[in-house]
């Protein structure tokens, strides 16, 4: 499903009682738990019964059930053992913040190639109660099943960063044998608050997979992921790997990369870090040195412009076929934004190369201020 680039066709049917439940729920910051409703999901001749469906998305991407909603589907909640192409959980992203439809898949592949676990992405044409919703980005769910593909021990907690929440806040837990255990996060917060630069890095390395965190931060910066953890304390997960005893940051919400939203393809590769852990690392001279070394290595090894552009065209080909069949009027809109995405990749590569070649080193992006999608500043 994730490798062959085909566009799946899904027909979701939700009884009127469930539709009324979903109509009554709207995203608000601090909203209560999202309700699940029963649905059936058809793919060709295969029908999955009693699938748990809930609305997904937050401030920028949330849409109501009668609009073009993002949806989370859990196939085993009401029917133990039920799987969709082997998956227990998947998300259908409405991609309202990425009309190119390729950002999520390409950026997730970049993180994976760099060595940072990330859920995989595909595409699907979706109908809801017979109504055509159009093309969606289908994303593998964050759960223990996902963790098993990357870690030998999945007993540790998988923390959900929620909406603009940092590591010192009450993060929910997606999976884990002891969800009440926040001790690792507490140690990370304590380490990040250490004033001495050298000692702070030592304390961070004791609780944080520092090498992988530097990679995570560098890929966020290379892809201009302004709405991620480093620059906005948003769209991330943290897994506590009990075998290593360290925390590992994982990417999420990669639909506003390469200059979309509030990002810019010319932004510094040394971003102003609003995330506590990222700020703590990059404020230390040795942390900045290691980070820039990591970024330069990844730029050489992973950020191959022509390969990324070819991949964008490969992903786009079946999308064009699907649009030609189902929504030809949207084709020019899609092709325009696909080309814009590819142009932005070229611009970003040129910007990174120029910054790395600067003998004085890259500047630090200015602090965007307390109103930048955050509730407060941290220093």
Label each residue of the chain as H, E or C.
Answer: CCCCCCEEEEEEECCHHHHHHHHCCCCCCCCCCCCCEEEEEEECCEEEEEEEEEEECCCCCCCCCCCCCEEEEECCCCCCCCCECCECEEEEECCCCCCCCCHHHHHHHHHHHHCCCCCCEEEEEEEECCEEEEEEEEEECCCHHHHHCCCCCCCCCEEECCCCCCCCCCCEEEECCCCCCCHHHHHHHHHHCCCCHHHHHHHHHHHECHHHHHHHHHHHHHCCCCCCHHHHCCCEEEEEECCCCEEEEEECCCCCCCCCCCCCCCCCCECCCCCHHHHHHHCCHHHHHHHHHHHHHHHHHCCCHHHHHHHHHHHHHHHHHHHHHHCHHHHHHHHHHHHHHHHHHHHHHHHHHHHHHCCCCCCECCCCCCCCCCCCCCC
Residue 373 scores a pLDDT above 60: no
- Averaged pLDDT, 61-80: 95
Instruction: Please give the pLDDT value at position 31.
Output: 63
Instruction: Please give the pLDDT value at position 378.
Output: 29
Instruction: Please give the pLDDT value at position 323.
Output: 96
pLDDT in tens, 125-184: 999 999 999 999 999 999 999 999 999 999 999 999 989 999 999 999 999 999 999 999
Q: What percent of the chain has pLDDT over 70?
A: 95
What tokens does 136 get?
Answer: 């969606």
- The confidence band for 367, taking pLDDT boundaries of 50, 70 and 90, is low
- The confidence band for 32, taking pLDDT boundaries of 50, 70 and 90, is low
Distance CA 263, CA 240 (A): 30
pLDDT in tens, 252-268: 999 999 988 788 999 99
Full-model pTM: 0.93
């Amino acid at each position: 499903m994730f490798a062959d680039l085909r566009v799946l066709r899904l027909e979701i049917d939700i009884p009127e009682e469930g539709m009324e439940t979903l109509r009554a729920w709207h995203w608000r910051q601090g909203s209560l738990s999202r309700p699940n409703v029963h649905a059936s999901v058809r793919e060709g001749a295969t029908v999955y019964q009693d699938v748990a469906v809930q609305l997904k998305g937050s401030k920028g991407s949330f849409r109501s059930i009668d609009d073009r909603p993002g949806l989370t589907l859990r196939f085993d909640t009401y029917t133990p053992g039920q799987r969709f192409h082997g998956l227990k959980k998947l998300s259908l992203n409405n991609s309202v913040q990425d009309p190119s439809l390729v950002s999520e898949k390409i950026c997730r592949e970049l993180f994976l190639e760099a060595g940072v676990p990330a859920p995989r992405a595909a595409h699907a044409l979706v109908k809801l109660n017979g109504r055509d919703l159009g093309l969606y980005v289908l994303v593998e769910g964050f759960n223990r099943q996902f963790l098993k593909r990357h870690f030998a021990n999945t007993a540790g907690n998988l923390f959900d960063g929620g909406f603009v929440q940092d590591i010192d806040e009450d993060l929910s837990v997606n999976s884990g044998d002891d969800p009440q255990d926040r001790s690792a996060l507490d140690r990370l917060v304590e380490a990040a608050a250490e004033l001495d630069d050298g000692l702070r890095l030592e304390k961070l390395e004791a609780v944080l997979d520092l090498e992988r965190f530097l990679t995570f931060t560098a890929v966020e910066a290379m892809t201009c992921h302004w709405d991620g953890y480093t620059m906005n304390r948003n769209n991330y997960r943290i897994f506590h790997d009990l075998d290593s005893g360290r925390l590992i940051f994982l990417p999420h919400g990669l639909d506003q990369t390469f200059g979309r939203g509030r990002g810019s393809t010319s932004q510094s590769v040394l971003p102003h870090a609003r995330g506590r852990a990222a700020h703590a690392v990059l404020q230390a001279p040795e942390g900045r040195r290691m980070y820039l070394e990591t970024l330069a290595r990844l730029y050489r090894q992973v950020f191959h412009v022509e390969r990324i552009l070819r991949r964008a065209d490969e992903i786009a080909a079946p999308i064009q076929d699907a649009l030609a069949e189902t929504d030809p009027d949207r084709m020019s809109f899609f092709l325009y934004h696909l080309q814009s995405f590819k142009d932005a990749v070229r611009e970003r590569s040129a910007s990174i190369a120029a910054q790395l070649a600067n003998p004085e080193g890259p500047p630090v992006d200015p602090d965007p201020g307390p109103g930048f999608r955050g509730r407060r500043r941290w220093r």
